[in-house]
Amino acid sequence: MKLTRRNFLAWAGLSAMGAVACDVFEDELKVQSPVALPEDLVKGKENWYATLCRTCPNSEGVVVRVIEGRAKKIQGNPNYPTNLGAQSARCDLGLQQLYHPDRLSNPLRLNGAKASGRFDSITWSRALAEVSKELESRDGSVAMISPPMRGHSAVIADEFIKAFGGKRIEFESLDLRTYRAAIKNVFGQDIQPHYDIGNAEYVLSFGADFLSTWVSPTQWEVGYGEFRDSDHSHRGIMTHVDSRFSVTASNADRWIPIAPGQEGKLALSIAYVIIEEGLYPSDVDINGLTSGQGLNALAGYSPENIGSQLGTPDNVLGSHSVSELIRTVAREFASHSPAIAIGGGTAGASTNGLFNLESIYLLNHLVGSVGKEGGVVFNPEPPIKGLKGYSNSHTLADIEELVNDIKASKIKMLFVYNANPVYGAPDWAGLEQVLNSNDLYMVNIGSFVNETNHYADMILPDRNYIEDWGNDVPEPAAGYQTIGVQQPIVNPLSDMDPRSSSDVLLSLAQDLGKDGNMPWKSLEDALKGMSDELFNLNRGSVSGSTKQEFWTNLLRQGGWWDKSVVGRDQSNINGLISKITDKDKEPNLSGNGDFYLVPFLHNSLLDGRNGDIPWAQGTPDPITSVAWQTWIEINDKVAVERGIREGDVIEVKSGASSITGIAFVSPAQPPSVISIPLGQGRTKGSAYATDRLDGESANVLNIIENNKIDGTEGLAWAATTVSITNTGESLRIAKFEGDYESREVGFTEGEELIKTTSPGDHDH
């Protein structure tokens, strides 16, 4: 019989009669009708809007799901060139950032002594009037600290600070100045290139944890998925060289541990083998690269000379010597075309970091992968006049110069724009001390209380990126012209009154007649002007019969791109090898101990910028599975020698500074290296960032010694040595792996049959 609605209802009625006849308990027939519907019941109409994620190392194209005016879900934009629908877990943090209970809602004015923490909530009109008055009286002595910025928000910030005779410093704890300098010297490019991992057959990477936090990880992860795809003629091969067992190292076919600062020698030794054995393609200009010297240009870099200097532990070599391993890697790299060499992270963070990175990127010239599919692909300048395809490259040395200018009263007013340099700079930089001066008027623009705005005179709440306009030229892009667009998707909650930081700067400049180079009423106005320029180009991924239709389609797509406009190879290879080898110096180390200190960006907290967001704190580290705490990675055999067990609170000391953290014992950790993540150790902020037990949260930046990188003055954050001491304290480590304590079985009659022996000290 066909099942119809009528038949179904008839059978249901008969079933009910049968139940009554069987004398079912009366309680079984009760039906609950709750007054309030369940919280997880989805109702209302959903809409999806394209925008840009701002909680990631590089802006990803995303779409946001909105129901009844509330943002509910963030996921990757399938059309956006750099992530193609993929997203990192960090993108989801935007929702908690948007609806965070501790988010600043109104302007705050200092009411008391500096650093007293006493602020009064005031109106925007009063706040802007006071800031305008201070700007007018301190004209010519104004500076700004911001994170790396691109797009029209960067243009507005630059023009604003120039109008008042100052400069803007783009600050990040682990700056990319040295990496950018290496790209400029080896490839002649100001804009970071795209590494076409998806079309490569071999990837040789040094230091850069590109599958976790380095530069544009989601972009590289998409390429890595294609690189490993069985649709390739054969599965790609990856070798990773790093002083720490990172996410990228764990995904490699071969991981080569190395002492920090020796990466350049290894790269040049690989180059030596390629030239010695004639493994380079016929179109590679070896005479040009070596100035006609051939192999003599790399005299002294043979694997037999270099092998003993790398600090590679014997237990990872198997039956090979280090020199044999170098030759094997060189042959693999040269014989699998296209091949690509990538360097960054710790490889560029020793005092000889520039030499290391230039040596690594030289390898791409030797295998003919420069400017080609599956190799190093260059990005073009953006099509809009005034927009740059790259952010500025400032270092901690620029912060130190600013500190001196404040002390000398050359800078009397400071804008801190969505940055936290007091937390992100080592104590010896001296920034915190000068911010406490009554002679300096500081305006902070941000969304949360932090270590820096603790010293502010005025705090102006910024809009979340889901509430605000914006655009970005992704760096790196995917090898062709790309502009991403950010649009306001929801309105601020009724009890919130944040304002767009770019609009605030425009308003201040207009009030004081300093807006001559800023011909826009608002950031939205600037974006519409950009849209009109793109419309007039009559090319690219967005079309429209009118400017308004083009603008609508631009927002719908989340950006504009044109695959036909690509970057050009501007490399000058003449004498390149000699220019690189002239920079070869042993890394300078300072500190107090026998261990190399290798800090690294936390997978979700990054450098601490996401520390106020509970999802970021609770996301387990991909390698250790630890969350909420500062863990210290130590080799298992070293731990046994030092009497250290997992969970012990250990002191890590360098020079006069020290921190404490919880020991994480790992057989994958090189014996000579101690690794500690950034991101914890916050002293001001929400409870999610600061509420920790003694010994379980610390800022590793505070024990980094004052070493600079030769040629760039960047912070050599991998040039510190430390000592470790067991404090005798112990805490439960918060990790997802091995949550249950082990015990020996065999205490009951039933367990006697399965009694086992303990596997050494590894009881987790």
Split at pLDDT 50, 70, 90, the class of 592 is confident
Taking phi over 0 as left and psi of -120 to 50 as alpha, with beta for the rest, 241 belongs to beta
Question: Per the structure block, which two tokens stand in for 16?
Answer: 């009910």
DSSP code at position 389: S
Question: Is-contact 93 73, C-beta < 8 A?
Answer: no
Question: Is-contact 308 338, C-beta < 8 A?
Answer: no
In 3D space, the residue among 529, 543, 533, 459 whose CA is nearest the CA of residue 498 turns out to be: 459
Bridge partners (DSSP) of residue 380 are none
Beta-carbon count within 10 A of 101 CB: 8
DSSP code at position 621: P
Mean pLDDT calculated for residue range 41-67: 90
* Backbone φ and ψ of 208, nearest 5°: -70, 115
Question: Per the structure block, which two tokens stand in for 64?
Answer: 């946001």
In 3D space, the residue among 359, 364, 367 whose CA is nearest the CA of residue 337 turns out to be: 367
**What pLDDT score was predicted for residue 16?**
47
Helix (H, G, I), strand (E, B), or coil: what is residue 304?
helix
Helices (H), 464-603: 501-511, 523-537, 547-557, 576-581
Please tell me which residue, 741 or 705, carries the higher pLDDT value.
705
CA–CA separation, 355 vs 261, rounded Å? 9
H helix or E strand, kind and range, residue 288: helix 286-290
CA–CA separation, 126 vs 63, rounded Å? 37
Q: Does residue 714 carry a pLDDT above 80?
A: yes
Q: Does residue 22 carry a pLDDT above 60?
A: no
Q: Does residue 515 carry a pLDDT above 60?
A: yes
Mean pLDDT calculated for residue range 201-206: 98
Determine, yes or no, domain membership for 421. Answer: no
DSSP string, 337-357: SSEEEEE-GGGGSSTTHHHHH
**What pLDDT score was predicted for residue 171?**
95
DSSP code at position 715: B
- Residue that is last in its domain, among 328, 356, 377: 377
**What pLDDT score was predicted for residue 486?**
98
Determine, yes or no, domain membership for 183. Answer: yes
**What pLDDT score was predicted for residue 229?**
86
What's 330's domain CATH number? 3.40.228.10
Taking CA atoms, 270 is separated from 327, 328, 653, in Å, by: 7, 9, 36
Split at pLDDT 50, 70, 90, the class of 29 is very low
Q: Does residue 26 carry a pLDDT above 70?
A: no
Q: Does residue 46 carry a pLDDT above 70?
A: yes
% of residues, the chain, pLDDT over 90 = 85
Residue pLDDT, tens place only, 516-540: 899 999 999 999 999 999 999 999 9
Determine, yes or no, domain membership for 19. Answer: no
Contacts of 152 (CB under 8 A, 6+ apart): 387, 470, 471, 502, 520, 523, 526, 527, 530
Residue pLDDT, tens place only, 534-551: 999 999 999 999 999 999
Please tell me which residue, 209 or 68, carries the higher pLDDT value.
209
Mean pLDDT calculated for residue range 41-59: 88
Q: Does residue 35 carry a pLDDT above 80?
A: no
Question: Per the structure block, which two tokens stand in for 710?
Answer: 């030769």
C-alpha of 709 from chain center: 21
Residue pLDDT, tens place only, 444-470: 999 999 999 999 999 999 999 999 999
Q: Does residue 82 carry a pLDDT above 80?
A: yes
Question: Per the structure block, which two tokens stand in for 452?
Answer: 């820096």
Structurally, how many domains does the chain consist of?
Answer: 2
**What pLDDT score was predicted for residue 753?**
54
Question: Is-contact 349 716, C-beta < 8 A?
Answer: yes
Q: Does residue 28 carry a pLDDT above 70?
A: no
Question: Is-contact 53 468, C-beta < 8 A?
Answer: no
Determine, yes or no, domain membership for 41. Answer: no
CA–CA separation, 695 vs 704, rounded Å? 18
Mean pLDDT calculated for residue range 494-511: 96
CA–CA separation, 626 vs 622, rounded Å? 8
Residue pLDDT, tens place only, 157-177: 999 999 999 999 999 999 999
Determine, yes or no, domain membership for 199. Answer: yes
CA–CA separation, 703 vs 713, rounded Å? 19
Contacts of 59 (CB under 8 A, 6+ apart): 52, 53, 472, 474, 484, 486
Bridge partners (DSSP) of residue 600 are 677
Residue pLDDT, tens place only, 217-250: 999 999 999 999 877 667 899 999 999 999 999 9
**What pLDDT score was predicted for residue 40?**
66
**What pLDDT score was predicted for residue 656?**
79
Q: Does residue 8 carry a pLDDT above 80?
A: no
Task: Please give the model's pTM, rounded to 2 decimal places.
Answer: 0.90
Mean pLDDT calculated for residue range 196-208: 97
Q: Does residue 747 carry a pLDDT above 70?
A: no
Split at pLDDT 50, 70, 90, the class of 513 is very high
Rounded mean pLDDT of the chain? 92
Determine, yes or no, domain membership for 385. Answer: no
Strand ranges inside 670-734, DSSP E: 673-677, 720-730
Helix (H, G, I), strand (E, B), or coil: what is residue 457?
coil
What's 677's domain CATH number? 2.40.40.20
**What pLDDT score was predicted for residue 749?**
58
Stretch among 13-22, 65-74, 309-318, 440-449 having the lowest mean pLDDT: 13-22
Split at pLDDT 50, 70, 90, the class of 42 is low
Helix (H, G, I), strand (E, B), or coil: what is residue 609?
coil
* Backbone φ and ψ of 545, nearest 5°: -75, -20
Residue with tokens 């030229």: 473
Stretch among 65-69, 129-133, 489-493, 749-753 having the lowest mean pLDDT: 749-753
Mean pLDDT calculated for residue range 591-607: 95
Question: Is-contact 311 258, C-beta < 8 A?
Answer: yes
Domain that holds residue 618: 590-730
Determine, yes or no, domain membership for 693. Answer: yes
Q: Does residue 362 carry a pLDDT above 90?
A: yes
Stretch among 202-206, 485-489, 641-645, 655-659 having the lowest mean pLDDT: 655-659
Contacts of 623 (CB under 8 A, 6+ apart): 245, 246, 247, 250
- Residue that is last in its domain, among 377, 408, 428: 377
**What pLDDT score was predicted for residue 533?**
97
* Backbone φ and ψ of 100, nearest 5°: -65, 130
* Backbone φ and ψ of 639, nearest 5°: -60, -40
In 3D space, the residue among 452, 468, 465, 600 whose CA is nearest the CA of residue 145 turns out to be: 452
Question: Per the structure block, which two tokens stand in for 615?
Answer: 């999802």
CA–CA separation, 551 vs 469, rounded Å? 13
- Residue that is last in its domain, among 343, 361, 377: 377
**What pLDDT score was predicted for residue 313?**
83
**What pLDDT score was predicted for residue 87?**
94
Helix, strand, coil share of the chain (percent; to 5): 35, 20, 50
Taking CA atoms, 201 is separated from 167, 187, 365, 474, in Å, by: 45, 21, 16, 26
Determine, yes or no, domain membership for 658. Answer: yes
CA–CA separation, 420 vs 449, rounded Å? 10
Q: Does residue 289 carry a pLDDT above 70?
A: yes
Q: Does residue 393 carry a pLDDT above 90?
A: no
C-alpha of 334 from chain center: 31
Please tell me which residue, 741 or 473, carries the higher pLDDT value.
473
**What pLDDT score was predicted for residue 560?**
98
Looking only at the bridges linking them, the beta strands covering 194-195 and 376-377 are: antiparallel
CA–CA separation, 562 vs 740, rounded Å? 54
Contacts of 538 (CB under 8 A, 6+ apart): none
**What pLDDT score was predicted for residue 484?**
98
Mean pLDDT calculated for residue range 578-597: 95
